[in-house]
Amino acid sequence: MQPFVRVLSAGLDTALDRTVAPGYTRVGLAVRRHLPTWPADPTLGSMAGKVVAVTGATSGLGLATAEGLAALGAEVRLVVRDPDKGGRVVRQIAGRVPGARLHVDRCDVGDLDDVRRFAGELDAGRLDVLVHNAGAMPPERTESAQGHELTMALHVLGPVLMTELLRDRMAGGRTVLVTSGGMYGQRLRADDPEYLTGDYSPTTAYARSKRAQVELLPVLQDRWDGIDVHATHPGWADTPGVVDSLPTFHKVTGPLLRDAAGGADTTVWVAAAEPAPPGGLLWHDRRARPTHLLPRTRTDAAERDRMWTWVEESLGL
């Protein structure tokens, strides 16, 4: 590829990203797919012999991620709260991916005791990829079984604890935190991780927890030595979660939203690409992205350390 072509392609990709709306929609994905800098798709069968676990895999991005990895040959474990619904999804995926190897495991990721139970009972041997996709945006401030604000429990504490408990099975593997572009509008709130002050906003709580995921990437990459830690954000995707939690946004942007497979594309790519993408980074549309777009959201090391201390204390690490 000519150097000037690569520079032009990278410039267009960056422009789509920084202007947000064009880059996050189905338009951005369609344009990027046709750029010469778009990374190659993982090859069919590239995940054969590998075991993957995907949380929140009964709908939306989680279902699309599970199906995408199964289609590449992985044995996929759907980690879900409702095993009956998980069973229906297994049949749905199996109908589209002949020969898919699928299992259902029950776990409420927001309940730390249930995460411990799940990790102790998991009958898989080695685990090559762990995708933390489970998410929620409760309309009112809600607490987990252990008394933590639910979005932080579900998006930060549960995933960290699950990976901690399974890390011995994951040497040389990858873990992926599915985050959100909404985190760009929030700074890290290590001073109030439980959202105890101010008027509660579901979208703010959600974005704060996603900001925490991204800010902790370098900490987790260092802690889980030998496991590559990634965060991916899907752009704007048409999922049941968006319909239920952001109905106005869905109504306005509906025609431009990506389908679930488009939203899950980078998560599948990060999980399967060879050589492995470098860990400790935020990815969107198969390219590493900045973790901050606004000066007011920038985080210093002391604030990041304070957040990690809260995580350690909450989990008893």
CA gap 148, 46 in Å, rounded:
39
Q: How many CB atoms lie within 10 A of CB 254?
A: 12
SS3 state of residue 86 = helix
SS3 state of residue 298 = coil
Q: Which residues contact 187 (CB under 8 A, 6 or more apart)?
A: 211, 296, 297, 298, 299
Is residue 184 annotated as part of the catalytic site, yes or no? no
CA gap 90, 88 in Å, rounded:
5
Backbone angles phi, psi at 79, to 5 degrees: -100, 110
- Interstrand relation of 75-80 and 174-178 (parallel, antiparallel or unpaired): unpaired
Q: Which residue out of 24, 184, 195, 206 is catalytically annotated?
A: 206
Handedness of CA 125, 216, 206, 261 (dihedral sign): negative
Burial class (CB in 10 A: 0-12, 13-18, 19+), 292: middle
E strand or H helix that includes residue 311: helix 301-315
Where in the sequence numbering do the catalytic residues fall?
206
